[in-house]
Structures are given as structure tokens and as C-alpha cells.
Amino acid sequence: MPQFINDSQRGIRPHTGIGPRWATKRIVPAAAANSGECVVSNDSIQCYMLWIDGIGAWQLYLGHSFSIGAPTFEGKSADITLQANISRRHATLQYAADHWQVTADHQTSVSGRSVDSATSLRSGDQLSLADRVKLGFHVPSILSSTAVIDFESTHRPVHSVDGIILMVDHCLLGPGRDQHIYCPDWPDIVVLYALEGSLRCRSSLPLKVDGRPPSDSAPLKDGSIVDGENLRFRIEEIH
């Protein structure tokens, strides 16, 4: 895992807002598919590792429906796999009709309520899988439907991460507590979103992507490094 070093201790300036909401899924143009960019497809869930200097690591999933289960070598694993004694397809989190819900294939509860059919999720709910696995569910920003999964028990994915982002429209990184990933020393917000078949980032800050300043929003490639004043992060695809 690459390690980076912050060399600035400059303070936080107020955030002035972000642009409009962006769609997360597009038809993939041939040019994007052959460019090395992080491709966003309609055919499957897209997954990335996001390492943020001085903050931590997250798994970033793009889509609208995400299955959760234990790792398996027999057939296709769930989208989100946890090292836990749960079924390989235990439950599914889905965003549809402007709200999140969970459907259970095996023993699941939401904030103490057993899930027998599709059950709505609210920000702040605790999701329990087979009693022992506890996950926190949060939708931090009123500007985005993207959700954050926190680990409230000791069970984690195979990759060592601080949390999981379920990106429906865009992912907000920055100094506000209502951002999906809280980066207290950043001077302003950075937005990750999908457009025309590729994962991109944009900000009011002067950023560099792989050492070059983008003209506006910047397409991200597998292994891209984004840096700016007092911030740096790297993104890699998980295949």
C-alpha cells in the first residue's frame, strides 16, 4: 500500500457549496474502455480501494444494489464480503424509489427489528447479520443519496478498511461532518462521481491528477493519485 506524507499544517477555510448531482451509471464509450480510466459499467457493481493520506482507507462501491455475505470459492461471491460466520449471500442493500432498503436471505435485523421482507433503512440504523455482525448505516449528506457502512463489530472485509461507501450519485470528501469521508484538515471539498463511463473528481481547489492539473473535472485511472493543498489520495480498482 502506498504511503504519503502531509507537509502542510494550514487551517480549514469554509466550504462554499458544491455543484449539481451527477448520475452514477452510463454506457461505457469505447474510448474510455481503452484509455485505462476507471470504467463505470451498467453490467456489474464497480469496486475501488480509496487510500487517503493521513485519514485512512475505504472501499468504494458504485451501483444501486449491493449483496452482503461471506467470502466463497464456490461460485460468485457477494458484492461486499465480510470475514464472518454468515451466509455467502446473506442480505442485499438496495437504493430504489428515492430510499434505501434491505432484503434478507438469512437472519437479519434493523435496529432490533427482524427483517422478514424488504425493510426501509434510515440514517443511523444498525444492521445485524446473524446476531454477531453489527454494521452502522448512515446517509451523511442531504445533498446525496450515497450511504456509508461503518463496522460496529470486529468483522471486516478481506481488505483492511475503515468503512464502505455505497455510491449512488456521488461521494463527498472534505472537512465537513456531513461529508461521506471526513477529512478535517482539508481546505475544501472534493467530489467523486461518474460521467460518460469513467470515474471522475472535481473541486473548487486547484488539484493535480497524476501530477497534472485538470482543465475542469478529471477522469481517474486505475492507480491515479490526486493531490492538492494539504490533501492527497490514491484510487485503485478491485477486480
Burial class, 25, CB count within 10 angstroms (exposed 0-12 / middle 13-18 / buried 19+): middle
**Per-residue model confidence (pLDDT) at position 40:** 55
For residue 164, what are the β-bridge partners?
Answer: 59, 149
Q: What is the arithmetic mean of pLDDT over 104-132?
A: 95
Exposure on the CB side of residue 62, measured as CA atoms within 13 A: 30
Distance between CA atoms of residues 239 and 227, nearest Å: 25
Domains of the chain with bracketed CATH: 16-46+170-239 (2.60.200), 64-167 (2.60.200.20)
Q: In this predicted model, what pLDDT tens digit does every residue of 148-157 receive, in sequence order? A: 999 999 999 9
Q: Per-residue pLDDT for 238 more than 70?
A: yes
Residue 235 CB neighbours (<10 A): 21
Residue with the larger pLDDT of the pair 117 and 129: 129
- For the four alpha carbons of 140, 145, 151 and 157, in that order, the dihedral sign comes to negative
What CA–CA distances, in Å, run from 63 to 23, 43, 194? 10, 10, 11
Banded model confidence at residue 37, pLDDT cuts 50, 70, 90: low
Concatenate the DSSP letters of all residues of 184-212 into one string: TT-SS-EEEEEETTEEEEEESS--EETTB
Return the closest-CA partner of residue 157 out of 23, 38, 74, 49.
49
**Per-residue model confidence (pLDDT) at position 21:** 32
Q: In this predicted model, what pLDDT tens digit does every residue of 163-193 receive, in sequence order? A: 999 999 999 999 999 999 999 999 999 999 9
Return the closest-CA partner of residue 102 out of 129, 75, 78, 84.
129
